[in-house]
Structure 1
């Protein structure tokens, strides 16, 4: 295997098999939906929306058949078309296709009662169930701080600060020792010889909606979040599974989940992407034994108050600078999480299907990924992506 991909070594290739940074498109994922949904009108003083499908032959819309899992926040905005809402739900991983939601809304006459606002829904839901949840006012997220999947600690602190008036610096101070906030010793050790930084709360700020008491402190809020993290990890049996199935520490699996949350767009890719990370870091068959990720480099830039960059704009020094512990060619699994992963990414990290893949790349505008064992296979997948209009070439 090593001989097959020897050309990936940094000494011979200054850009060793870079995993291209994906740019999320803001439209065009389901153009057919915009064509089919022709009419929009507001009722109840402009607080509700409904879009009617006026075209016959709108058949076989891809749909999930289950109730879904986890939690995700979506916003219904005033003046949006049904197709706009459907696109939002699809992008958030709630429905399998925008078309399925449009059909479900059309088939439910009560959908005219859906109001604008932010709603707590589930991932991978049947479209008709999503309509019902949007109709239930109990699912409105109005009394707390919403922490989306994939946010960094900096973003989380800023959101809590804005909501409570407590300075960001107070949250940073409160997070100096995560063991005092409820993070147990299980999470404070690794199996790969690296140390867990107890002053780094990244990865433990579980995405959810948090209701904050009126009289509270930064420490109280972070303890509340960690309590929820512990409860969710217990439900997933995350720590035990990481140790027994993957033979790594729960923290290392958490790091993988945090990277996967950033790298993978679709739920189906969470597990396979995590496995690529494990193959690179632990298999011994990848030449550098490193992750080679733009996402970790960009996290380091953000930690230092800079903006993240697309792949082609990252400099060699930014990618490989020895002062950067999240650098492109740092050996093994990353030194720490780069985001706060949600349930699906966490499940993917502990249920990663075995494979011999070392590469992945997004190949279409739906977010589908293709995987490769060698650099040549990876380049072939990149050509497919380019043909499909993905801006990575």
Structure 2
């Protein structure tokens, strides 16, 4: 059935002739309209089809290049191999894996930060990156870079400072073991504010450069190192309750540190420290108060070393001559360790007034409350010295 027949049937009614006339009079225009619509429909279909064909044709012509671009965009750039040369990289406190990755990229160690972040994740070491300085190489694979950032491979010098060293000797040891100029340590030791010394230290580092083993990185300055020692002292003082306990004993924290330094210098062993501290307190609190009469303080004031002051030494006018002056000297004469500080805060109970290290080689010290016994012990010491 044609479109014309369909049109006739749809429009038919009882007045067939008028409908036919109407169709006949308008048929020519209707056919032209339908032809125009069909042409338009064919054009509307062809336009999007042409666009699809052009688009498909574009993919076909440039598909390889598009795939290559996408592949390169998704591939993380990385070097291969162990790299060359040498560069020191610092991981700072608080940096995460992304921060470290950026530093490594900027210094030419890895090709991309993303490669390093991926390598750290693959090695499950995101939480093991530790602050410090590390020796790396230029243009190395990210996976190799991760292995060189092992905390055990940090550039650190271990410096051990024993208890009882005077500050002058401590600075000399630091200069020798770190290779840094002694003058820089001496200059830094005078800057109490930069070192964050406690107020009761009265601006002097002597007594507050805590003896211990320190890990020192190449970038640490003498001021940094000394500040770390003071920080370690502050930690110990807080643990010991230094200020509170000193007040309970009727002394300042500075006085306790002075007593601790004398205890450190005069004791032959850790076991003797509490007794030496007791002798100091018994002399300070005696009625009447008596001189401390400690050879160690005399020798410090004269910048000498030894355990026995000569008669000439005892005539010194130094403020540290405790044979001539009552009470404690102005400040610590060494840098005591925690055992000596503990002894100063918790002296052993006893009535001893004197002690003599009768055998210095074996570290034997004897204590007495009898002056006659003291002279006998002194004779024993002189005999051992002569025999040695």
Calculate the TM-score normalised by the size of structure 2: 0.55
Deviations 1:317-355 (A, max 9, x none): x32222x11113222012111111112111111110233
Residue aligning to 1:334: 329
- 1:368 maps to 2:371: no
Would you say 1:325 and 2:319 are equivalent positions? yes
Distance change (3 Å), C-alpha of 1:254 and 1:315:
same
Q: In the alignment, is the contact (CA less than 8 A) between 1:257 and 1:341 conserved in 2? A: yes
Question: In 2, Cα distance between the equivalents of 1:309 and 1:353?
Answer: 26
Q: In 1, Cα distance between the equivalents of 2:265 and 2:251?
A: 21
User: Superposition pairs for residues 101-120 of structure 1, below 5 Å?
Assistant: none
- Work out the CA distance in 2 between the residues paired with 1:176 and 1:337: 16
1:277–1:321 distance in 2 versus 1, CA, 3 Å: same
Call closer, same or farther: CA 1:392–1:338 in 2, change over 3 Å: farther
Is 1:377 the counterpart of 2:378? The answer is no
**Do the aligned partners of residues 309 and 353 (structure 1) sit closer, same or farther apart at CA in structure 2, a change above 3 Å counting?**
closer
- Residue 227 (structure 1) aligns with: 231
Distance 1:173 1:390, change over 3 A: same
Partner of 2:308: 311
1:171 matched residue in structure 2:
185
1:11-37, Cα deviation, whole Å (9 max, x unpaired): xxxxxxxxxxxxxxxxxxxxxxxxxxx
Separation in structure 1 between the aligned mates of residue 341 and residue 296 of structure 2, nearest angstrom: 18
Larger Rg, first or second structure (1 or 2): 2
Structure 1 residue 279: deviation in Å? 1.9
Asked if structure 1 preserves the Cα contact closer than 8 Å seen for 2:358 and 2:381, the reply is: yes
Q: 1:380 to 1:292 in 2, by over 3 A?
A: same
Shift of 1:383: 4.4
Match of 1:242 in 2: 246
Could you tell me whether the CA contact under 8 Å between 1:207 and 1:341 is conserved in 2? Answer: yes
Structure-1 residue corresponding to 2:298: 297
Structure 2 equivalent of residue 8 of structure 1: none
Describe the SS at the equivalent of 1:331: coil
Cα distance, 1:270 vs. partner? Answer: 0.2
> 8 Å contact 1:282–1:332 — kept in the other structure?
no
Residue pairs, 1:166-315, within 5 angstroms:
166-185=180-199, 187-188=200-201, 196=202, 198=203, 200-244=204-248, 246-286=249-289, 289-302=290-303, 307-309=304-306, 311=308, 314-315=310-311
Tell whether the 8 Å contact from 2:298 to 2:316 is kept in structure 1 after alignment.
Answer: no
1:310 Cα shift? 5.4
Q: Deviations over 1:255-309 (max 9, x none)?
A: 11111111111111101101111222333434xx32212111211222xxxx424
TM-score by length of 1: 0.54
Q: Which structure has more RCO (C-alpha within 8 Å, separation ≥ 6)? A: 1
CA contact (8 A) 2:157 2:217 kept: no
